[in-house]
Structure 1
Amino acid sequence: MSTTTRIMAGRYRVDDLIGRGGMAHVHRGYDLTLGRDIAIKILDRELARDTAFRTRFRMEAQAASRMSHPSIVRVFDAGEDSSAEAGGTAAEPVPFIIMELVHGELLKDVIARGALRTVDAVRYADGILEALEYSHRAGVVHRDIKPGNVMITSSGAVKVMDFGIARAVSDSSSTVAETTQIIGTAAYFSPEQAKGEQVDARADLYSAGVVLYEMLTGRQPFRGESPVAVAYQHVSETPRPPSELHDEDHDEKELERIRAIDPIVLRAMAKDPFQRFADAVSFRTALDDAVTGTVPTKKQLSSLTSELYGPNPRHAQETARTLRQLSSDTTMTRTQSGPPVAWIWAGVALLAVLLVSVLIWVLAMRPDGGLPSSARIVPHLVGQTYDSAIVQLKKADLRAIRIDQADADIAVGSVISTDPAAGTQLEKGQSVTLYVSTGAAKSTVPPLTGLTQAAAKDALIKAGLQLGSVSQKNDPHTQHDIVLSSSVASGTEVPSGTTVDLVVASGVVTLNDLTGWTLDQATAALQQAGLTANPVAKPDCKGTDPKTVAAMSAPPGDVPVGSTIDLTYCTGK
């Protein structure tokens, strides 16, 4: 840890380095304004030199910050740092993002220890797909799903991170080689990414299929000497089913589970996006069915493989040419001969006829090219006040349904999210659900006085609060471990998760030295301390008037509450 405290944007303290990647390094940090632990991702200075990238990065980070889901690492803030420690100057600011601090390990570190059990692989894949289901509904495509961007928390939950960053990076890179150098590896690229084409949500589903493949087998489906060689295989090569790569020590039941998932993985990794699952929901449903369904036969699996990855030499040749144009890599060599020239021209002619036919059909069906007159588009409402959102929905001829929801990061009365998301097309008069922030969740401090420490802790946890420090205090009328008071009075409403300190009875009182006191004075002092006096006459010593304590049955110091103390006094002549 650096000996000099570094503060970014006037509020974020940068602490230990906890991770490093090809385009950024991540530090543990602390938000001095909100008083919470955070993670700070600081982008590489080479990326920071590109003004266009910084603009794209800021826009994508803002889009990611609007997403709030348990399976997605929250983005709290984004900005640019001009301090020397960040590696930049005032003219060369370095972008950073402030994220939720997740306690756990990267999925890539889990896979590094070997293939996962099927039940764990399916559970992690389901978590990734759940995050993608939410982000795709919000109109955000991740573009860089890989084990290095997935965290497994200490409780086994899945957290996907780096939404939006991949788009900013890929948009600023002109070749496949540049993009893979920055983002990391081409092992999880979809074929359309490898060819530099436009991508949509189905590219994320392809990458999720590759991650599932690696979790089941412990290795990536395609490997090569360069990123371009790997990208070429994504476009033209057929992956082996995961069950064919199983270890010999797999038991038969585990192998059957993997065979049941083979068709799911192959479908997700189809070269043609239209042959993949339509969305993350379909992918998740297929996984659920596979876990409890029947195992496909080799003939069925072979038929599926032929359907998804059938021979297409023209496609492979065009891909090779495209990749050579997009990359400066000269190590890639052709692995198969090209088709006859006549085939190519025939294919071009057929494609031209099809395109013209489709164009004529579109113009005939929709000459205006616009939306139906009844169509309404859901406006962007996240972060706006509820009243403002209502006005905009009325202008769009849409109805609003309000659902209040606690959120510590969104101002009270402002919109957290909408269902459906902004940009969705609806019919006139349809409803949009607005999730409106009520601020941080509140809890009421329960009655604690008179409870044992264990019972008080249980009561705090049930109320959504936490037990803080516990101190002891002598009380003559209270037994050991009973709560005397709390730092927050019972019935007080406080933010959920607030720490409450307790004061409990020690169960002892301090016994003073009473020798030399009159018997009446000593008896009164013991009663005041919650103790009982037992006078004991001693005839073999000279008595006094008034009677005086000559000895006590217990030495001065702490004694249990309610103890009986013998007070010896002399009665002799």
Structure 2
Amino acid sequence: MATITRVMAGRYRVDDLIGRGGMAHVHRGYDLTLGREVAIKILDRDLARDAAFRTRFRMEAQAASRMSHPSIVRVFDAGEDSTAEAGGTPAEPVPFIVMELVPGDLLKDIIARGPVPTVDAVRYADGILEALEYSHRAGVVHRDIKPGNVKVTPDGTVKVMDFGIARAVSDSSSTVAETTQIIGTAAYFSPEQAKGEQVDARTDLYSAGVVLYEMLTGRQPFRGDSPVAVAYQHVSETPLPPSEVHDEEHPAAELARIRALDPVVLRAMAKDPFQRFPDAVSFRTALDDAVTGAVPTKKQLSSLTSELYGPSPRHAQETARTLRQLSTDTTMTRTQSGPPVAWIWAGVALLVVLMASVLIWVLAIKPTVDVPTATRSVPSLSGQTYETAVALLAKNDLRAIRIDQADATVDKGKVVSTEPEAGAHMDKGQSVTVYVSSGAAEVAVPQVVGLSATAAKDALTKAGLQLGSVTQKNDPRTQHDVVLTSSVQADTKVPPGTVIDLVVASGVVTLNDLTGWTLDSATQTLQQQGLTANPVENPQCKATDPKTVASMSAPPGDVPVLSTIDLTYCTGK
């Protein structure tokens, strides 16, 4: 594959293409400023033409860049580049993000080789949930969990990528069909995403359940001829338990382990978000319990399926298939003639007259009669405590879902925003996502003692901190430019952008004038300074008792650390 030799934003060299998705292509790259390999995701130009999307994309990428976790692919930078493509395409802003370059295989490639062993599937799912547990605490909902967004490193570590991109896309798309086309697949959609409703952290848990299902069975739970057909199944149909999919292909011991996971997968994929696991921690706990617990009976599994998907799942499946067939079958023809055209027009005219009469009646009685409404308005909650927000929502017959997020501008424990925003109308009993400030985001100070000043600066910059003053200090046993101390201890949590001062070794020590000193005293003084004394006899001058330094091989002043100093003393008669 040919290498693309261009530099974006004057800093990032774009190298080989290493991946391509429905809305972007990923290249291996090189950060010319920091001298490190990176991955560069470049958005398609069709998306880039939407100014609202570019703004939303930049904001979401900045939010993702604040997350630092071993199970999340780091986002280092985001921006726009106007470099013209090869072939003379006119220059226009194209969004890109710079990410950590992670070795290994995409989870979708691992699944493509066949069903994943249960032990590995649970480990991969746990890694995904660990990343979601962290991101949900930070107030970031992924919205596009799928095997193509999960990397498994050679040592088995799970890395989740593309946080924030799905939200940027969905907020710039007006329909499910548009969003599906951009993201590339509806196979991992939650029912609320398919219906265009508000989403929260439980949406990611549903998608994680679908990924676990696919790892255990080697196929997705719902398949169809189009993304819309698949999304419809997510809303309407009951999935088969994983153990009932090609169970004859699994060894007995493996099948038993899959059966133990059936309740966990079905709970994660519940249509109603309130019947799913409430958070990633609960999902991970259920996985651990399933691995070590008893296998459920078919009666228990049937009871759980009935609870989550309705008392007659088979009937619901048949109804869904019939509706889908009627909506797509173009070969069906009428067996009876329709009513006369005149009757149709007469019916339409009568309907118009009735609607007009009702409208006139409503307008006439409006001053004296209030028309009841079933909708509730979301109150303004910004700046309130979470407890107050819950009470205000309850007065409006609405429920609250809390998500903590870092915010330096809002006091800890106070509401930052809601989704939907204040003033929006919702049905009775619906949930409002309440984002609560966890205070300013904090990062851990890296270990810089023992590094060179340049390496320490790189480590601080990578952690989102700033290098302050650099003071030199004599240290008898440390080479030049090595960090001796920092103004803040390693692993201390501080706000991003905190200035860290360093003290580095000067690489020299100050040599005093030792002439006239006894040889023993001079030798001891040099040893205390990390220097080596080399006694040298001079028979040309009269010996002294005790032996006295007559001259030194280096003049008084600064000398390199760990130097050897010749001390000449007289031995003549």
What TM-score bracket applies, with the shorter chain setting the length? 0.5 to 0.7
**Which residue of 1 is the match for residue 179 of structure 2?**
179
Please say if residues 444 and 490 of structure 1, whose CA atoms lie closer than 8 Å, have aligned partners that are also in contact: no
Alignment of 1:194-273 (within 5 A): 194-273=194-273
Q: Deviations over 1:372-410 (max 9, x none)?
A: 59869999767x7xxxx8xx75998xxxxxxxxxxxxxx
- Residues 90 and 380 of structure 1, relative CA distance in 2, 3 Å threshold: farther
Per-residue deviation, residues 391-449 of structure 1 (Å, max 9, x unmatched): x75998xxxxxxxxxxxxxxxxxxxxxxxxx94268xxxxx6863443x4225389xxx
Structure 2 contact 137–405 (Cα < 8 Å) conserved:
no
Q: Provide the rounded CA distance (Å) in 1 between the counterparts of 2:404 and 2:260.
A: 43
Paired position in structure 2 for 1:309: 309
Quick one: structure 1 residues 374 and 305, their matched pair in 2 at CA, closer, same or farther if it must change by over 3 Å? closer
Give the Cα separation in 2 of the matches to 1:104 and 1:183.
23
Q: Is the 8 A contact 2:238 2:317 kept in 1?
A: no
In the other structure, the counterpart of 1:564 is none
- CA–CA distance in structure 2, aligned partners of residues 493 and 224 of structure 1: 63
**3-state DSSP of counterpart to 1:131:** helix
Q: What is the aligned partner in structure 1 of residue 67 from structure 2?
A: 67
1:435 aligns with 2:442: yes
Contact 1:187 1:222 in 2 (8 A): yes
Match in the other structure for 1:526: none
C-alpha separation in 2, matches of 1:303 and 1:88: 63
Quick one: which amino acid aligns to residue 58 of structure 2?
Answer: R
Describe the shift of the 1:87–1:101 C-alpha distance in structure 2 as closer, same or farther (beyond 3 A). farther
Q: Which residue of 2 aligns with 1:43?
A: 43
- Residues 1:381 and 1:89: Cα distance change in structure 2 (over 3 Å): farther
Q: Could you tell me how far apart the structure 2 residues matched to 1:123 and 1:98 are?
A: 28
Task: Work out the CA distance in 2 between the residues paired with 1:134 and 1:375.
Answer: 26
Amino acid in the other structure paired with 2:17:
L
SS in 1 for 2:177: helix
Asked if the contact 1:28/1:38 (under 8 Å) is kept, the reply is yes
The DSSP-based 3-state class of the residue aligned with 1:169 is: helix
Q: Is the 8 A contact 2:139 2:404 kept in 1?
A: no
Kindly tell me: are residues 380 and 293 of structure 1, through their superposed partners in 2, closer, same or farther at Cα, counting changes over 3 Å? closer
Q: Conserved in 1, the CA contact under 8 Å of 2:306 and 2:313?
A: no
Q: Given the superposition, is the C-alpha separation of residues 314 and 21 from structure 1 closer, same or farther in structure 2, using an over 3 Å criterion?
A: same
CA 1:166–1:330: 2 relative to 1, 3 Å: farther
Deviation at 1:56, TM superposition (A): 1.1
Sequence identity percentage: 72
Counterpart residue type for residue 35 of structure 1: G
Equivalent in the alignment of 2:436: 424
For structure 1, the 5+ residue unaligned runs are 334-355, 397-421, 427-431, 447-463, 465-486, 497-573
Matches within 5 A, 1:368-407: 371=384
> Does structure 2 conserve the Cα–Cα contact (< 8 Å) formed by 1:45 and 1:87?
no
CA distance in 2, matches of 1:218, 1:17: 28
Q: Does structure 2 retain, via aligned residues, the 8 Å contact 1:81–1:95?
A: yes
Q: Is the 8 A contact 1:259 1:296 kept in 2?
A: yes
Pair 1:372–1:248, CA change in 2 (3 A): closer
Could you say what secondary structure the match of 1:442 adopts?
coil
In the TM superposition, what whole-angstrom CA distance separates every residue of 1:216-256 from its partner, at most 9, and x where no partner exists? 00000011111111111111111000001144242222111
Q: Deviations over 1:69-101 (max 9, x none)?
A: 111111111111100128997763111000000
Render the CA deviation track for 1:514-536: whole Å, top value 9, x for unaligned: xxxxxxxxxxxxxxxxxxxxxxx
Across the aligned residues of Structure 1 and Structure 2, the Cα RMSD in angstroms comes to 4.3
Distance in structure 2 (CA, Å) of the matches to 1:367 and 1:25? 41
C-alpha distance in 2 between matches for 1:120 and 1:256: 15
Indicate whether 1:293 and 2:293 are aligned. Answer: yes
Residues 166 and 433 (structure 1), Cα distance of their counterparts in 2 relative to 1, 3 Å cut: closer
Shift of 1:279: 0.8
Provide closer, same or farther for how the CA distance between residues 88 and 309 of structure 1 changes in structure 2, counting only shifts above 3 A: farther
Shift in Å at residue 22 of structure 1?
A: 1.0
Residue 450 of structure 2 aligns with an amino acid whose one-letter code is: T
Q: Which residue of 2 aligns with 1:127?
A: 127
Whole-angstrom distance in 2 between the partners of 1:204 and 1:378: 13
Distance 1:174 1:309 in 2: 29
Inter-partner Cα distance in structure 2 for 1:133 and 1:378: 11
Distance 2:289 2:81 in 1: 49
Secondary structure of the corresponding residue to residue 85 of structure 1: coil
Deviations 1:455-489 (A, max 9, x none): xxxxxxxxx9xxxxxxxxxxxxxxxxxxxxxx978
Provide, for residues 155-186 of structure 1, a one-character-per-residue CA deviation record: whole Å limited to 9, x for no partner: 10000001111111122222222222211111
1:492-511 to 2 correspondences below 5 Å: none
- Equivalences for 1:75-94 in 2 at 5 Å? 75-85=75-85, 92-94=92-94
Q: Which residue of 1 aligns with 2:95?
A: 95
Q: 1:185/1:374 Cα in 2 relative to 1: closer, same or farther (>3 Å)?
A: closer
Q: Is the 8 A contact 1:88 1:94 kept in 2?
A: no
Alignment CA distance shift 1:150-1:488 (3 Å)? farther
Three-state SS of the structure 2 residue aligned to 1:125 is helix
Separation in 1, partners of 2:324, 2:203: 18
Q: Is the contact between residue 48 and residue 93 of structure 1 (CA under 8 Å) also seen in structure 2? A: yes
Helix, strand or coil for the counterpart of 1:187?
coil
2 CA distance for matches of 1:95 and 1:213?
34
Looking at structure 1, the residues matched to 208 and 132 of structure 2 have their Cα atoms a distance apart, in angstroms, of 9
What SS does the corresponding residue of 2:442 show, helix, strand or coil? strand
Give yes or no for contact 1:42–1:96 (8 Å, CA) kept in 2: yes
Q: Distance in 1 between matches of 2:193 and 2:444?
A: 38
Match in the other structure for 1:274: 274
Distance 2:167 2:87 in 1: 23
SS at match of 2:42: strand
Contact 1:20 1:26 in 2 (8 A): yes
Aligned to 1:472: none
- Residue 192 of structure 2 corresponds to 192
Q: Displacement of 1:5 after TM fit?
A: 2.7
CA distance in 2, matches of 1:25, 1:119: 32
Corresponding position of 1:570: none
| Contact 2:205/2:280 (<8 A) preserved | yes
- The amino acid across from 1:295 in the alignment is V
- Residue 239 of structure 1 aligns with an amino acid whose one-letter code is P
Structure 2 residue runs of 5 or longer lacking an equivalent are 331-371, 390-401, 415-433, 453-458, 460-477, 491-573
CA contact (8 A) 1:15 1:28 kept: yes
For residues 381 and 295 of structure 1, do their structure 2 counterparts lie closer, same or farther at Cα, with a shift above 3 Å needed? closer
Is 1:444 the counterpart of 2:456 in the alignment? no
- Counterpart CA distance in 2 for 1:199 and 1:69 is 23
Distance 1:131 1:105 in 2: 18
Does structure 2 conserve the Cα–Cα contact (< 8 Å) formed by 1:235 and 1:316? no
Counterpart CA distance in 2 for 1:150 and 1:16 is 20
Q: What amino acid maps onto 1:183 in structure 2?
A: I
CA–CA separation in structure 2 for the residues paired with 1:172 and 1:150? 24
**Do the aligned residues in 1 keep the contact of 2:448 with 2:483 (CA within 8 Å)?**
no
Give the equivalent residue in structure 2 for 1:410. Answer: none
SS of residue matched to 1:444: coil
- Residue identity in the other structure for 1:248: E
Counterpart of 2:107 in structure 1: which amino acid?
L
- In structure 2, distance between residues paired with 1:171 and 1:253: 46
1:496-535 alignment to 2 at 5 Å? none
